[in-house]
Structure 1
Amino acid sequence: MADARHLTGRIFGALLWSFLAGCAGQPAARDAPHAGTAAGAERTWTFEPVPAWRDEFDYTGPPDPAKWSHDLGGGGWGNNELQHYTDRIGNAAVADGVLTITARREPAGEREYSSARLVSRGKGDFLYGRIEARARVPHGRGTWPAIWMLATDRAHGGWPDSGEIDIMEHVGFDPERVHMSVHTKTYNHVIGTQRTATHTVPGAMSGFHRYRVDWTPDAIRGYIDDAPVFTFANEGSGPDAWPFDRPFHLLLNIAVGGDWGGQKGVDTGAFPATMEVDYVRVYALAADGGGGD
């Protein structure tokens, strides 16, 4: 890939981000924490003050089709999950300023659980940015809610080669412990090298908390309620370790059971189980790229 440490690369990335998000940029305002480059230098990156893409869920009915599509079906989703994803309003609905994703114990497809998985693919695809959601996660052993990102064009190959960014994951058998992670060809849980951080969030299931990543050419940094939790630096060794040079899109879902979420079984009495999302906001990386090298 082009060397992102040069100014031209930063400008190109920011302009491409704005084009993909379909929104005009705004003057730079807010600072991100320092991110170390592969050479060990530090820069301060800035983000636009106004979201280039957002959903405030200030309407009533199904999720906005201009922003979200549904992944549909069962089949385990690569993790032996138990749910069948639908586009029914009973699994994903907006009311009173909140998106509610609901996993239910009911026949759906050939599965015993239904749920929803919203994706912004083709409607909100981003190259770098500050991505933030305010959410409340569900109670219940066997629930596995997530706010996360996948590569849109899979230019570096299938999973995990093109990368995954987990902004928030929570497994119900380990309540109030939130996980932030990345997956790449070099760093993933299948080979025991996954880069992740966990953080206890008191009240994660009873109240709303802010989950955020600041994604720049130098690093992916994760925050919960603005407290730094996770850092994954671009070590400069290429796409096997850093495939995060391509557009990504958002996913919001609740899985049921699975290789991780179902490790301690599934409490059938926990359903219906809901994740509530107050907003999702994406701020573009500022066109000037931030501080100097």
Structure 2
Amino acid sequence: MGVAAIVGAAPPPRASPVGARVPQATATSAIAIAQSRWNVTASRGARTPHQTESAVGRMLEWSAGGSVAATELGYEFVHAVRNTCAVSAVDWVTFDCYGTLIDWEGGIYAALAPLLPRGIDRDELGQLYIAVEAEVERGQYLKYREVLNRASRLLLERLGRPLPETKPSPVPASLPSWRPFPEVPAALRRLRAGGPRVAILSNVDRDLLATSIAQLGIAPDLAITAEDAGSYKPAHGHWQVFQRRSGASPERTVHVGASLYHDVVPATALGYRTVFVNRHGEPLDSVRPTRVLRDLAALPDVIAELAAA
């Protein structure tokens, strides 16, 4: 069964130049920057590997209901502030998580493969799932664990393989096992060594994101979830919360994402420079990210170039 039969229309074909430099689109709107700064309890200084592991461990303890203090934005990292260099043209780099840092397509395919009809490959399943999940997210706000449950059930139903009501969907429980793309941990470590602070803006719940952050090799300075924003991207809630909590301006922040729809289009509209991680060779059409990369291996060099511009 094809994509059109499931979602009513085929998604756009995937093909585009990679590594291209693209003129930045003029922002159509910008959110006023809140004056309050993000407060942390740690002294400023360089983050050692031990401190990074400690920060991740404390975040996981908090997400499991432990005693770690939580800030309004969700997490408090003991060694969160580490950038003591002179202010550069890029103070923050914000990331989408799933599809950009974590291979969600591989994770969902592995979870659903035993239940799928023959002939559905990973790429087709990814297109089908994206469309169905967006349909679920357009309704009232739900925790992401429930979005995963409803979207996977709806997808299987439309593929002619409905799950019995008494059988749980395997997808929500599979998320902690989803792995980073191979180049991601090294790219993040190299990026952080260059000076910018790192934030993750993700369409998931706090506890689910915590399990994925533990696999990235660094702890972000900020993590904003759909739970914090009360909405899902492409709505602007994640960026609004990020600006209030960090005090950062769009002009000094670069947003990195693998979805034109969820990340590049809304971030560009809000005045951010954007890096589109085009893992599937999608056409850009009228969307104009600042840079286009095939994966994140070259991202630290791109950010350094943008900071020096």
Richer in helix (by share): 2
Which of the five TM-score ranges fits, normalised by the shorter chain? under 0.3
Greater share of strand residues, 1 or 2?
1
Q: TM-score, normalised by structure 2?
A: 0.24
- TM-score normalised to the size of structure 1? 0.25
